[in-house]
Every structure is written in C-alpha cells, then in structure tokens.
C-alpha cells in the first residue's frame, strides 16, 4: 500500500460500500489496518467496512492520531486499549456495533476524566441487555459524579425534536450522570436504549413536573 504510506495530510477519509447491498463487499482487514496506520494525517475518519471475525488491529507503538471526528460503523475490532490510545483525544467519537463491558467503559472514563479532548461520544451496542444496564459501576466513582434524574438534552435523532433543539426529559435510576471532564466542563453521560451518549449539550432541570422518559416510545430514537 505504497500510496497510503506516502500520505502526508488528509482532511477527511471515508471508506464505505458503494452499494446498499453490503454483502457484495467482503471483509478487508488489510485496508482497515492501512487506513488506521495513517491516523496522524487524518482529521475526519468515516469507516463503514467489514473486517473478518476475530480480526485484531495491532497499532504501531509510535502511532499517534490527530482525529477530530471518528465514525466507525462496524467497530467490533475496537478494544478498550485502542479506544484509549487512538480515540480519547478526538473531539467527537461515534462507534456502532460494539459491546464494551462495564469494566472497559469504566477504564475509558477514568482516562477521559484525567486527560482527554473528547467532547461528544455516541456508542451503539448490539447487547440485548443494554437497556437494563446502569452507569453506576461505570462513572459513579468518578470525582464529582452526580446522578441525573431530569435534564434538557440535545442530541441528533430524537423523535419530534428539531436539530439543535433541547428536549426536557427524565432518566431511569442509574441511567444518567453528570460528570466533570479534564477541561473542567460539565458533561452528561446517559443511556438511551442501546446507545450511550456523552455530551456537553445539556441543561440541568429543576422541576417537579413529570417529564417523559428519554427511553419511552414518545421520544425513542429514529
């Protein structure tokens, strides 16, 4: 992959099927590895490609990435260590089809709270038990972590909510926390069904009003 090795600067790289029928495109571990290995030259990465079952990406020891935004649609190969090494200093990270354990998420958030540039994260899990999981074991022990019962949040995909509009919602016990980043900003981390979000785009709500649960069909993600 001489072309990839000689890359010196790329604003954005996208790898994705050119047909809706993704079965036409077999796994390509080599392409995935070569794209990741030029991470220091990429600012925005969009990766929607198959890798083989059991594929393990072993990043070079001296690899440093300068991603500002990372979107990986088939992220089963992304481990906790890869996330911390390559993605923790991205501004925005979105991973789909990745099941992190509570222990892995806790380790990621500990590192994030100490030194990170990440201001937005969206993780999609295929784990059917995800809607019953609690964040208490993930972020509850972080300094200044506080459970959140109600808030106005702003994330893409909420039903009946315009882009950039805040929606006042409630959260089930253990499904949302306010945490403080290494930049001393307040963040909210919360589950919505099979999604885990981290964002600064929220406002705390102090009201006795009954607000719709964010995981109810009234607000369920599109």
Q: What is the pLDDT of residue 2?
A: 38
Q: What is the pLDDT of residue 3?
A: 39
Q: What is the pLDDT of residue 205?
A: 92
The string over 149-173, giving b where at least 16 C-beta atoms fall within 10 Å of a residue's C-beta and e elsewhere, is: ebbbbbbeebeebeeeebbebbbee
Read off the pLDDT of each residue in 156-162 and give the average, rounded to a whole number: 70
pLDDT single digits (tens) 75-113 = 999 999 999 999 998 999 999 999 999 999 999 999 999
Q: What is the pLDDT of residue 191?
A: 93
Q: What is the pLDDT of residue 20?
A: 64
Report phi then psi at 112, rounded to 5: -60, -40
Report the Cα 40 to chain-centroid distance in Å. Answer: 20
> Is 0.85 topped by the overall pTM?
yes
Read off the pLDDT of each residue in 145-163 and give the average, rounded to a whole number: 83
pLDDT single digits (tens) 34-76 = 889 887 778 899 999 999 999 999 998 888 777 899 999 999 9
Residue 67, token pair as written in the block: 């991603």
Task: Give the whole-angstrom CA distance, residue 194 versus residue 8.
Answer: 38
Task: Give the whole-angstrom CA distance, residue 195 versus residue 96.
Answer: 9
DSSP string, 106-166: HHHHHHHHHS----EEEEE---TTGGG--SHHHHTTSTT-EE-SEEEE--TT-TT--TT--
Burial grade of 136 (CB within 10 A; 0-12, 13-18, 19 or more): middle
Read off the pLDDT of each residue in 168-184 and give the average, rounded to a whole number: 94
Outline where the chain has alpha helix (H): 2-5, 29-36, 80-82, 102-114, 136-139
pLDDT single digits (tens) 108-152 = 999 999 999 999 999 999 887 777 789 999 999 999 999 999 999
Task: Give the whole-angstrom CA distance, residue 13 versus residue 22.
Answer: 19
Read off the pLDDT of each residue in 193-214 and give the average, rounded to a whole number: 91
Q: For tokens 């935004």, name the residue.
A: 69
Give the model's confidence band at 1: pLDDT under 50 very low, under 70 low, under 90 confident, else very high: very low
Q: What is the pLDDT of residue 75?
A: 95
Q: What is the pLDDT of residue 66?
A: 76
* Cβ–Cβ under 8 Å, residues 187 and 180: yes
């Amino acid at each position: 992959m001489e072309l990839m090795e000689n890359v010196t600067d790329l604003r954005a790289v996208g790898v994705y099927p050119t047909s809706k029928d993704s079965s036409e495109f077999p796994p390509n571990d080599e392409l995935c590895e070569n794209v990741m290995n030029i991470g220091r030259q990429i600012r925005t990465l969009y990766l929607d490609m198959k890798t083989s079952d059991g594929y393990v990406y072993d990043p070079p020891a001296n690899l440093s990435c300068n991603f500002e935004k990372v979107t990986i649609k088939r992220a089963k190969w992304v481990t906790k260590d890869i996330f911390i090494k390559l993605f923790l200093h991205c501004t925005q990270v979105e991973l789909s089809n990745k099941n992190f354990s509570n222990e892995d998420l806790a380790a990621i958030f500990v590192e994030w709270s100490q030194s990170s540039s990440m201001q937005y994260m969206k993780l999609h899990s295929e784990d059917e038990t995800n809607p019953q999981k609690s964040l208490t074991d993930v972020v509850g022990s972080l300094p200044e972590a506080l459970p959140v019962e109600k808030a106005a949040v702003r994330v893409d995909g909420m039903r009946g909510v315009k882009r950039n509009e805040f929606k006042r919602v409630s959260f089930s016990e253990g499904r949302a926390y306010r945490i403080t980043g290494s930049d001393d900003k307040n963040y909210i981390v919360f589950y919505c069904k099979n999604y885990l979000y981290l964002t600064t785009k929220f406002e705390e709500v102090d009201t006795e009003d009954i607000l719709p649960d964010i995981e109810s069909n009234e607000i369920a993600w599109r």
